[in-house]
Structure formats: structure tokens, C-alpha cells
Amino acid sequence: MQFFLRKLIRYYRHNVDENLNREEGYQQSFLAGFFGLMGSIISFFTALNSLSIQLYSLAICLFLVSALLLLSFFILKSSTYKRFHNLSRYIALLGLFSLGIYLINSGGINNSGPLWICIIPSVTFAFLGLKLGLIANGVFFVISSTMLFFPSDALLATTYSYEFKTRLIYVFLTIVALSGVYEAARHYSFMRLKSMKEKYEHQAQFDYLTLLLNRRGIQKILNKEHQQRKLTNNVSTIATLDIDKFKVINDEFGHEVGDMVLKHTSRVLSDCIRSQDSLARWGGEEFLLLLPETAEQEALILLESVRECVEKTPFEHGNISIFITLSVGLCETSPDVDFNETIKFSDISLYRAKLAGRNTVFAYTPEL
């Protein structure tokens, strides 16, 4: 039993974590499935109990509800009926509402059955969210109060005292209000957590200044590209681009202007490269460019045009005009070579471009 419970909790926790990545509707459907399984087991045993005390109609109703709840669980678990996942929560609610109406009508065991309607508000909000939950609870309220207060108890198969009926409805409404407030708070927290998660994920992969990918961000793309290359056997090229004499810009105009130059260069670079290329700020005033499915000769031509593009687009700010040049090192990589090795070689080519007087593009050759 303990093992079963632990497994269930772990499964539930895993799905709650997963849910942060998904739509809230999925979370609600998941809850419905979870509730469906538990509810189905409980109503099945309650049905058996009703059978043993010869309350046959109650037993039949409970068996039907148990079947509906189990259906809701299986729909959610099934990968074949994925498009019906959303439906599972409506099926579970249909089972619960039908049971509530039946219990009000019949009174259940010793007229205590209607007390079960107290679970309806919280379950409904959990499955449908605030807006739909309010509507569904409203519908149930109208149906149940009509049944309870219909003249001469014509819609009831049993009789309740007036005090019991009014208190039942008051309790129901109080639970609706409390569950509604709880649902609103839960929804707010969920949305906050989701947006924080997205924000931190973004921060972890993008550079705050230039808004380009950072080292971590491009590493992910490089890994993906590496897998792809293994399948297709294509070559790619990696280039390292470094702003020339950036320290001079900082020293002459200050760090603030230096930052603006970095942003400007990033924008120009992003405009010059192809849509399939990935650009990242590798650190300081150095950028890394991945040119997928591009051999060295093609990359040389492309990067020469990128270098020219930056050279021809000076940074202008007020009466300041700064001409920027880039030194570029590149290296072609084949599927069997690790990207980190290729980056090392393109760095060597960059060093050579700097030594050659800057503002130039160099491809890697082993004799460097």
C-alpha cells in the first residue's frame, strides 16, 4: 500500500512539474484523470457496500459513476485518444454531477447522501478553472435548489427538513466562494511561476546586453547541429568574430558608449547573416557564428561580406561617430570532429587575423 502511494505521489509530482511547461488545460485534465482513478475506486467499493445492504438503485448509480470516472482516467492515460484528453475532465464531472443529483433525489444512506455535494465546488474549479468552474457550479446550484425546494417535494424521492435543505445550500455556496478564491489565487501563482520560469530560461540562454544567444544558448544549438551533421554527413563552419581595438573605444568614450557599440555591432551582424546562421555573444567583444551546411569557401565569401557590412556601418550617437572593424577566424568542421575542437581552430585563425593587421578574415589551415 505504502509502495503504491509513493509511486502515485511520484507520478503526480512528475506531472505537476511537467505541467509548468504546458497549458493549464492539460493540468486540469491531468487532475481529472487522477481524480477519475481515485473516484472510480472509491465509488466502486461504495457501490459494493450499497449492494450488500440491498440499496440496488444506489449501487447501480455508483457503478455507473465508477465506470465514467474510470473512462475519464483511461482517456487521459491513452496515447491513442490524445485529442480527447481535454474531454476526460468533462466526463469525470458528468459522473460527479450525476451522482450529486441522484443523491439529492434519493437521499442515499439514511438521507446523508446529499452531503457529498460539498466536494463538487472544489473539484469543479480544479477541473475547469475559475470562469467555467463558476458557470458549472452555478448550474449545479440551480438544479439542486430547484430539486430541494420544488413545491410538495415533487422532484425528490425522499423528504428532508426545511432546515437541512437551507443549510445544505448555504454550505454549498460557502464552499463555492472559498474554492473560487482559492482557485483564483492558484491560477495567479501558476501564471507567475510560469512567467518566472520563462524569464529565467531566457536569461540563462541570452545575453542581457546584446540580446543575442550567450555561450550556453549557442552550445545547445551546436549540440543539436552536431547530431544533425552525424545523420546528414554535411560540413558546417564556425567563425569567431572580434571587434578590433575595442579597448580603445572604451578608453576614449567610456564603457557606456562601449556597450552601445556592442549593441550596434550585434544588430549589424544579425542583419548581415543568413536566416539559418546562429550568432552568439561568446564573451566580451567576441562573437561566435555557426554557419550550418556551409563549406569553407562559401563561408569565406559570406564572412567577407559580413566584415564589410560592419566596416561600412559606423556607430553614430549624437556627435560621436565610431568606425568599427572586425577580425574573423573560421574553421570548417566535419561530422566526426567535435565542435569544441573547431572553435579552438577558429580562435587560432582569429589570432592570425589579428596578427596580420586586423579587419580581415582568415580560414584555418593546419600549418598555422
Ligand X SMILES: Nc1nc2c(ncn2[C@@H]2O[C@H](COP(=O)(O)OP(=O)(O)OP(=O)(O)O)[C@@H](O)[C@H]2O)c(=O)[nH]1
Contact residues: ligand X, CB under 6 A: 209, 242-247, 250, 255, 258-259, 262, 284-285, 354, 358
Helix (H, G, I), strand (E, B) or coil at 324: coil
Helix (H, G, I), strand (E, B) or coil at 348: helix
Nearer of residues 167 and 247 to ligand X, judged by Cβ: 247
Residue least distant from ligand X (Cβ): 258
Per residue in 297-336, is it b (16+ CB within 10 Å) or e — as a string?
Answer: eebbebbeebbeebeebebeeeeeebebebbbbbbbbeee
Supply φ then ψ for residue 346, to 5 degrees: -70, -30
Compute the least distance from the CB of residue 178 to ligand X, in Å.
Answer: 52
Q: Which of 30, 35, 36 is nearest to 16 (CA)?
A: 30
Compute the least distance from the CB of residue 192 to ligand X, in Å.
Answer: 31
Nearer of residues 58 and 269 to ligand X, judged by Cβ: 269
Compute the least distance from the CB of residue 314 to ligand X, in Å.
Answer: 17
Compute the least distance from the CB of residue 91 to ligand X, in Å.
Answer: 56
Nearer of residues 258 and 329 to ligand X, judged by Cβ: 258
- Please give the DSSP secondary-structure letter assigned to residue 233: -
Nearer of residues 216 and 255 to ligand X, judged by Cβ: 255
- Measured distance CA(52)–CA(46) in Å, rounded: 10
- Measured distance CA(1)–CA(4) in Å, rounded: 5
Burial class (CB in 10 A: 0-12, 13-18, 19+), 157: exposed
Nearer of residues 88 and 240 to ligand X, judged by Cβ: 240
Compute the least distance from the CB of residue 322 to ligand X, in Å.
Answer: 12
